[in-house]
Amino acid sequence: MKLPPLKSLSFFLAAARNKSFKSAAQELFVTQAAVSQQIRLLEENLQCQLFIRDSKQTLLSTEGERLFPFIENAFSQISQGISLLSAEPDPNVLKITSLHSFTSLILIPKVNTFQLMCPEIMLQFSPSNQVVDFKDNSVDIAIRRGKGIYPGLESRQLIKDEVVLVASPLLFKDAFPPIDELVKTPLLLDISSDITPAFEQFCSEYRLSAQDFEIGLQTTDAVPVVERALSGQGMCFVSKSLVFERLNEGTLINLFDFSARSPISLFLVAPPKNFQWEKVKKFEAWLNVLFNSG
């Protein structure tokens, strides 16, 4: 047997529960005429009268009484199924995938501040530079650098990033050293997509060329670059989102106060429903406090 339209059945359920077409219309945010039309279509489909209508009230007919518990149960089952899909799994465990650099330089060093704020939530890190698809539920939230375009996912910008030139105060006591001294200092060069344009911008502003610098390291990984800069082995261009804590505490200094707006930023990424989970809300709030304090 061909089933009636689901819309008509939902209107029937609302009218039967409320014992009133008017109240059903208010519940469904439609007109009373729309409810009457859907009930009439359902009755024509089933070839029986479902309601006894009079001027005072709307009552279920014998056929309506027989149908009502089945429709009520069916919609209840649908609702439970949808809830299972959207329910927050493991509310006390938050599974995070993040760039290797962000995990090493920000998340792990600062995780204790999150644990103090939310001791009931255990964080599980999965460092990866690959974008996950969230299909197997192995990850709750991702932290990515990009332009915020991830089809099928929601992205929320954490910070408008910029690239800065930094070094340890072990190398330079003054943030504005002589240029001839600067170019003799090993440059720890991360050749990632947003770093190279910043390097070129700096060269243009100070009338230098890449050949003027002594290259001490060339890589696509920000972690060894920052670690060597911290130990005084050279200077580097780096995303400010990775070193803002170091700049605040003075273990790195921003040379020449140089900054170049990055074409990519830091985003929190997940399916839209994940952002409704309490554990994700708390983690997002913590990240916003962390970056706003920087």
Give residue 103's pLDDT: 92
Give residue 252's pLDDT: 96
Give residue 94's pLDDT: 94
Measured CA to CA, the distance from residue 75 to residue 284 in angstroms comes to 34
pLDDT over threshold 80, residue 148: yes
pLDDT over threshold 90, residue 130: no
Residue range 163-196, pLDDT digits in tens: 999 999 999 988 999 999 999 999 999 887 789 9
| Fold agreement (93-160+265-292, 162-261) | yes
Whether the CB-CB separation of 253 and 175 falls below 8 Å is answered with yes
Burial 88-116 (b: 16+ CB within 10 A, else e): eeeeeebbbbbbebbbbbbbeeeeeebee
Of residues 292 and 211, the one with the higher pLDDT is 211
Three-state SS at 114: helix
Q: What are phi and psi of 251, to 5 degrees?
A: -80, -15
Q: What are phi and psi of 47, to 5 degrees?
A: 60, 45
> Residue for token digits 């039967």?
16
Give residue 260's pLDDT: 95
pLDDT over threshold 70, residue 55: no
Residue range 211-265, pLDDT digits in tens: 999 999 899 889 999 999 999 999 999 999 999 999 999 999 999 999 999 988 9
Measured CA to CA, the distance from residue 35 to residue 28 in angstroms comes to 9
Report the CATH number of the 93-160+265-292 domain: 3.40.190.10
Q: Find the helix or strand (DSSP H, E) in which 253 lies.
A: strand 253-261
Residue range 281-291, pLDDT digits in tens: 999 999 999 88
Report the CATH number of the 6-86 domain: 1.10.10.10
Radius of gyration of the chain (CA): 30
Locate all alpha helices (DSSP H) within the chain, ordered by sequence.
6-18, 21-28, 32-46, 62-86, 100-102, 108-117, 179-182, 195-205, 222-230, 240-249, 278-292
CATH architecture of 162-261: 3-Layer(aba) Sandwich (3.40)
Confidence band of 1 (pLDDT split at 50, 70, 90): low
**Average pLDDT over the chain, rounded to whole?**
90
Q: For the residues 28-48, what does the mean pLDDT come to?
A: 93
- Residue closest to 241 by CA, chosen among 145, 164, 158, 161: 161
Q: Are strands 215-219 and 187-190 parallel, antiparallel or unpaired?
A: parallel
Q: Find the helix or strand (DSSP H, E) in which 157 lies.
A: strand 154-159
Confidence band of 137 (pLDDT split at 50, 70, 90): confident
Three-state SS at 96: strand
> What distance separates the 2 farthest-apart alpha carbons in the chain?
96
- Domain locations along the chain: 6-86, 93-160+265-292, 162-261
